[in-house]
Amino acid sequence: MKKSLLAAAALSVLASNAFAETNVPQSAVKNLSVTVYNNGLGLVKDTRGVPFEKGTNTVSFAGVSAQIQPETALFSGDGVRVVEQNFNFDLLNRQSLLQKFLGKQIKVVSTNPATGAETTEDATVLAADDGVVLKIGDRIETDSKARLIFPDVPATLRDKPTLTVDLLSDKAGSRDVNLSYLTNGLTWRADYVAELNDAEDSIDLNGWVTLTNDSGADYKNADMQFVAGSVNRVRPMTRARPMMMMAKAAAVYDSVSNMAEEELMDYHLYSLGRKTDILSNQTKQLALLSGSNIQARKEYRFDDITPVYSPRQKEFDTRSAAIYLQFVNDKKSNLGMALPAGTMRVYKADSKQRIFFVGEDRIKHTPENEKIKLALGEAFDVTAKGKQTAYTQFSPKAYEASYEITFQNAKNVPVTVYSYQSLPDGWTITNNSAAYTKENAGQVLWQITVPAKGKTVLTYTVRVKGE
């Protein structure tokens, strides 16, 4: 009998604890870490102090992301075990209040425009989807301009997205609980600004992480990490919950320090060396890197000026040179860290030191010691025109073709052009007016100097041996 009474008492304590909710606000956060991935995914790690009773405790963690993936939530704490968890994203607002009071009574306060006197009446909410429909006494009113007074706030409505968890504690007392979860609505990209010097042989480079927070939550005093690389994710079988619509805030710039970079398995991790705030609806830029006097080379490039091998094709259109800027991501060039994919914008000062935008290109994830080549645009003053001067057929698969390419330079200084030519299998250059470099089995490169306000003519003959 005594054992039965004790058991009943224990069950009573557990039941009472299960229904007693402990609200843990954002102010209880002791440590916060946010890791953002390239594909719009964020990992939030949140540590809060929680007061526990022995047994089952219902604990509400307010201020989690509105785009949390609840199934990814992970709790840990000494002597604490998860029994059940619910994500409550039914937020408190006028519309949600009306929905909760469908068929129930509220009060309506009307003001007489002539006297200013207020009248309070009981009303029943009939509909709230497409405008408000109220029954007031014997009449029905829609879209009433009167003030609505609700008797209370339903327990299911929250002022912030809330994760509610039933936790089983082995003892009473306060202890830390670690909450980790994945969320949508956090994105980042790399942006780079390069300034080309007067001689056009070096750049000063600044890199930024541009972070956008559309998750519906504020992350204050948080450690920040960014992962570069494509993390595989399973496509959900059910339709995802619609994202919250939010307006972007103006960018917030932060250039206090560069980030530490390290390998994370087969990805790269960038860690901000201090804590920062990431507010909802905010776009923020954080300093990623800074380098000065990085050796660079501007390149006037032509690809396949004479692309067709045919006895009928004799002359080709005039083409403008493509402008490329090339440098190496190594320590010798004052760089030497893995660069995440992003857009690199290039600027240059004129003779009066006024800065102008001269082109941009997107770079891929670039490991240390790899070349970076930016396509900036087309040259106005550097052109080329090619023509086929001879063609001899030896057999159905063997022939010889001769070409002439005229490079013209309208600039006041000499330039070097880089002319890349693709060649068919079995090629041999039998005659050429300038030396070439074999880039690979099917491509050669001529580096041709063109004088200021002048031209240079390249001639060559290709023999193709048929099989």
Determine the average pLDDT of the residues in 5-26. 53
Indicate if the pLDDT at residue 7 is higher than 50. Answer: no
Whether residue 268 is predicted with pLDDT greater than 70 in this model: the reply is yes
CB of 423 closer than 8 Å to CB of 443: yes
Averaged pLDDT, 89-115: 75
Share of the chain above pLDDT 90, in %: 48
What is the pLDDT at residue 243? 39
pLDDT computed for residue 84 by the predictor: 84
pLDDT at 262: 67
Q: What is the mean pLDDT of residues 93-100?
A: 69
Give domain limits for the chain: 2-89+160-182, 94-149, 209-288, 295-464
Confidence of residue 17 (pLDDT cuts 50, 70, 90): very low
Model confidence at 265, pLDDT cuts 50, 70, 90, reads: low
For CA atoms 373, 376, 381, 384, the dihedral sign is positive
Per-residue pLDDT reduced to its tens digit, 206-226 = 999 999 999 988 999 999 999
pLDDT of residue 6: 37
Model confidence at 241: pLDDT above 50: no
Residue 106 pLDDT exceeds 90: no
| Torsion-angle region of 145 (φ positive above 0: left; ψ -120 to 50: alpha; else: beta) | alpha
Whether residue 248 is predicted with pLDDT greater than 60 in this model: the reply is no
391-436 pLDDT, tens digit per residue, is: 998 888 888 999 999 999 999 999 999 999 999 888 999 999 999 9
